Amino acid sequence: MKELSRIECSKRLFEENASSRDVVSWNSMLTAFVRDEQIGAAEKLFEEMPERDVISWSTMISLRAEWAVRRRVGVF
């Protein structure tokens, strides 16, 4: 059986515990997706978040800024 990556384990735990999610757990998953460069997953999760705080918004703004810089200097 294939061993799951940290992000896969975190995602599974997050999905299995829907009733205990709060803004902190949503932000943790959002940050994990961003760090793993899973941009589509981060954007999707952000859209699904029932509550967004300054951390949520800052994470997404930083993500957009970083990718804009990468595009400008051609780092992909």
Q: What is the pLDDT of residue 14?
A: 92
Domain range for residue 48? 6-73
Contact 61, 33 (CB under 8 A): no
**Would you give the DSSP letter of residue 18?**
G
Please tell me the pTM assigned to this model.
0.82
**Would you give the DSSP letter of residue 50?**
S
The reply to whether 32 falls in a domain is yes
Half-sphere exposure of 40 (CA within 13 A, CB side): 0
The reply to whether 1 falls in a domain is no
Name residue 61's amino acid: I
Number of independent structural domains in the chain: 1
* Tens digit of each residue's pLDDT, the chain (76 residues): 567 788 899 999 999 998 889 999 999 999 999 988 899 999 999 999 999 999 999 999 999 998 888 888 876 5
